[in-house]
Amino acid sequence: MRRGTCRAVTHVSAMNDREAKARAVKILAKSIYRDLEAQGFDEKQIVSLATELISEVTNKISRHSSPDLAAKSLA
């Protein structure tokens, strides 16, 4: 191996699952952004997509936490 390559391999193997997933999310986001740009979407449309994704996640969180909130409010 070339000098420095061994350190990179060690660093990657030392990465825990959470760090690996965080890195994968960044790579995926960059890839999706580039694909959308290549397909002719402008920045405003890409931000709109991101907003919709956040809305979907927020709605899912709300649905899963609603029974807990309702139970607490009855107590």
- Rounded Cα distance, 20 and 35, in Å: 22
Question: Would the pTM count as exceeding 0.75?
Answer: no
Please list the pLDDT of the chain residue by residue as tens digits (75 residues): 556 555 555 555 678 999 999 999 999 999 999 999 999 999 999 999 999 999 999 999 999 886 655 455 444
- Rounded Cα distance, 56 and 69, in Å: 19
Report, in angstroms and rounded to the nearest whole number, the Rg of the chain calculated over CA atoms.
20
The four Cα atoms 56, 59, 64, 70 give a dihedral, to 10 degrees, of: 180
The four Cα atoms 42, 45, 46, 52 give a dihedral, to 10 degrees, of: 180
